[in-house]
A = this chain, B = another copy of it.
Amino acid sequence: MALSTPSTSFAELSSATRVEIDRALASYCQFGPKCPVPLAEAIRYSLLAPGKRLRPLLCLWGAEAVGGVSKAAMPAACAVEMIHAYSLIHDDLPAMDDDDLRRGRPTCHKVYGEAVAILAGDALQALAFEIVARDLRPAHVAARCAALLAHAAGPCALVGGQADDLDPDRAATAGALESIHARKTGAMLSVSLQLGAVTAQCASDAEAALADYGRHLGLAFQIVDDLLDVSGDAATVGKRVGKDESRGKLTFPGVWGIAESRRRAAELIDAAIGAIEPLGATAQPLEALARYVLERDR
């Protein structure tokens, strides 16, 4: 494994950018009097909760990796985090995964009730598209980013993956599991990078390199997530652990075992890093992010 860089790299590289992301997200949550107070509070509670901001970082660093400017990609970075936040709110609902804890705090519906939680998720999805369509420049970049983001959030990706994940009758194979995660998690990670590339208006081979990186990273990310559910503790992971097994949910460690899952995740991270090597020094933050994803399980 090529894990020579110290594990602090990601923390060092991301801390300043994360402050900028959080500031931009907060600025997008200043609603006027037409937005009811409980709704605005629920949106802010979920969106501005402390988080790693992996998707916005992928978007901004993706843009920089292919010669773009992160400032121009910031609306897209905020939008991918909004879609992510909305999907977490809805996934946590009693009718879905029924979770009480998220990022170490009570879930949105626990604090604001189910109706407001559903509406906060709905509003965050709309807000994501408003920001992309309104604030990205020029118009053809805005339109393409909105279309890509909508596809990744739609019935053949994010929402479809979640629907299959909830289906008790789906096939219990590694292939079915990969297909679910490619849609439920992978599509949004990939599109985060892709929006960065589109805002940078880069060449198609650079965009393809980012897409390869994203595909490998997405699967590795989910394997590590499943490993954390088996081996992590709730305080570190920030949500209830062991829940996958207790629900009979299909997981990678369940299919491959822990050691083999770890080996495959490491292999995927190496492949992700290999994919962006041709981009040179501007891709270094993405390399650090990939290493960090693997090290979350350490």
Q: Which of A48-56, A127-135, A195-203, A240-248 faces chain B? A: A127-135
The complex places the Cα of A158 from the Cα of B125 at a distance, in Å, of 13
0/1 string, A159-182, CB within 8 A of B gives 1: 110111011000000000001000
For A114, the chain B residues whose CB sits under 8 A away are 95
- A35 is contacted by which of B40, B128, B153, B160 (Cβ under 8 Å)? B160
0/1 string, A114-146, CB within 8 A of B gives 1: 111011011101111110111010111011101
For A128, the chain B residues whose CB sits under 8 A away are 150
A6 at the interface (CB under 8 A from B): no
Q: In the assembly, how many copies of this chain are there?
A: 2
- Are A130 and B143 closer than 8 Å at their CB atoms? no
**Contacting residues of chain A (101-120) with chain B, CB-CB under 8 angstroms:** 113-116, 118-119
Whether A150 contacts B127 in the complex (CB less than 8 A), given A34-B160, A39-B160, A139-B143, comes out as yes
- Are B156 and A119 closer than 8 Å at their CB atoms? no
The complex places the Cα of A155 from the Cα of B136 at a distance, in Å, of 20
Whether A35 contacts B119 in the complex (CB less than 8 A), given A143-B142, A147-B130, comes out as no
The complex places the Cα of A164 from the Cα of B157 at a distance, in Å, of 32
- A125 is contacted by which of B32, B122, B144, B160 (Cβ under 8 Å)? B122
- A133 is contacted by which of B90, B127, B150, B166 (Cβ under 8 Å)? B150
- Are B150 and A129 closer than 8 Å at their CB atoms? yes
For A274, the chain B residues whose CB sits under 8 A away are none
Identify which of A32, A140, A142 gathers the most chain B CB atoms within 10 Å of its CB.
A142
The complex places the Cα of A151 from the Cα of B127 at a distance, in Å, of 7
- A163 is contacted by which of B38, B121, B159 (Cβ under 8 Å)? B38
For A160, the chain B residues whose CB sits under 8 A away are 34-36, 39, 123
A-B contact pairs, 15 of them (CB 8 A): A36-B163, A39-B163, A95-B115, A96-B115, A119-B162, A121-B122, A122-B122, A122-B125, A122-B153, A126-B154, A126-B158, A130-B147, A134-B143, A139-B139, A139-B140
Top 4 A-B pairs ranked by shortest CB distance? Answer: A130-B150, A95-B114, A133-B146, A123-B155
